[in-house]
Amino acid sequence: MPIEVISLTAAALLLLILISTSVYTIFLIISWFAGAPYVPTKKKDIEKLLSHVKMKKGELMIDLGCGDGRILRAAAAKYGVRGIGYDVNALVIHFAKIRGRFQNHPLTFERKDIREIDYSQADIIYLYLFPKIILELQERFDTNTKKSVTIISHAFKIPLLEKMLVETIDDKSFKTYVYKRE
Ligand SMILES: C[S@@+](CC[C@H](N)C(=O)[O-])C[C@H]1O[C@@H](n2cnc3c(N)ncnc32)[C@H](O)[C@@H]1O
């Protein structure tokens, strides 16, 4: 193969890598400033977590900052829950939608800021977010959720719900805090 073709291919590849890295970084920064960077919950942690928190078929689970939607897919596969995932990051929502299309679960994914959505109908709420945005949302967790709701916060506590803490799952890389009213 002529050296010019090799050089041109290498340059094109390098450009592609640079563009992909830049796009990824821009979306990472958007996520970070909105409330938390995109760091997915580890798959082995999801399995452990779902073995602790039992869910019923048909219940509505909302993932606040759903990333690629892995928690919702796993919960739908294991328990048959319905799910809605919200994320501010267009890139990860795009992946969540693509992955969702290959499975026949009742899941929807929307690009939205979780500070603006209504989760009063959720039976289960999952979040893996930084403390700052948890503090912004915690009042609504307390007043604007079903009486029977289960709120699962991965890695960080929800200070206002301290009295509702029913379980701390401690056998994973991060602790997970489970809150319930009854
Ligand atoms: C640590 S990741 C968790 C992803 C997913 N829940 C999981 O456990 O694999 C946090 C996600 O929350 C999203 N996020 C942060 N602030 C947000 C906001 N204000 N509105 C919507 N999504 C937000 C980020 O884009 C990121 O994808």
CA pair distance 92, 126, nearest whole angstrom: 17
Cα pseudo-dihedral 87, 135, 180, 40, rounded to 10 = 40
| pTM, full prediction | 0.90
How far is Cα of residue 96 from the mean position of the Cα atoms in its chain?
10
From the list 71, 89, 101, the residue with the least C-alpha distance to 33 is 89
The CATH number for 166's domain is 3.40.50.150
Report the distance separating Cα 166 and Cα 74, nearest Å: 22
2 in a structural domain = no
Mutate which of 25, 33, 109, 128 for ligand 1 pocket (most atoms within 8 A of beta carbon): 128
pLDDT tens profile 106-138 = 999 999 999 999 999 999 999 999 999 999 999
Tell me the three-class secondary structure of 14-37, residue by residue. Answer: HHHHHHHHHHHHHHHHHHHHHCCC
Domain annotation covers residue 12: no
CB distance 83 to ligand 1 below 6 Å: no
* Segment 12-37 mean pLDDT: 88
Decide if 168 is inside a domain: yes
Residues 139-181 have pLDDT tens digits of: 999 999 999 999 999 999 999 999 999 999 997 778 999 999 9
Instruction: Report how far residue 6's alpha carbon sits from residue 125's, in angstroms, rounded to the nearest whole number.
Output: 52
- The answer to whether 123 and 60 are in contact (CB under 8 A) is yes
DSSP state of 13: H
User: Is 16 within a domain?
Assistant: no
Ligand 1 contacts CB of residue 45 (under 6 A): no
* Conformation bin of residue 107: beta by default, left when phi > 0, alpha when psi is -120 to 50: beta
Q: Name the residue of 31, 68, 86 whose CB sits within 8 Å of the most ligand 1 atoms, as the mutation to test its pocket.
A: 31
Residue 80 backbone phi and psi in degrees, to 5: 75, 25
Residue 46 in this model has a pLDDT that exceeds 80: yes
Residue of 136 and 32 predicted with greater confidence? 136
Residue 50 domain-assigned?
A: yes
Supply the mean pLDDT for the chain.
Answer: 93
153 lines ligand 1 (CB under 6 A): no
Residue 20 belongs to some domain of the structure: no
For ligand 1, the distance from its centroid to the CA atom of residue 56, given in whole angstroms, is: 25
| Residue 66 forms part of a structural domain | yes
Domain that holds residue 158: 43-180
Enumerate residues 6+ apart whose C-beta is below 8 A from 125.
Answer: 61, 62, 63, 64, 119, 141, 145, 149, 150, 151, 152
Structural domain total, the chain: 1
* % of the chain exceeding 90 in pLDDT: 78
Q: Which helix (H) or strand (E) holds 152?
A: strand 150-154
* Residue 86 in domain: yes
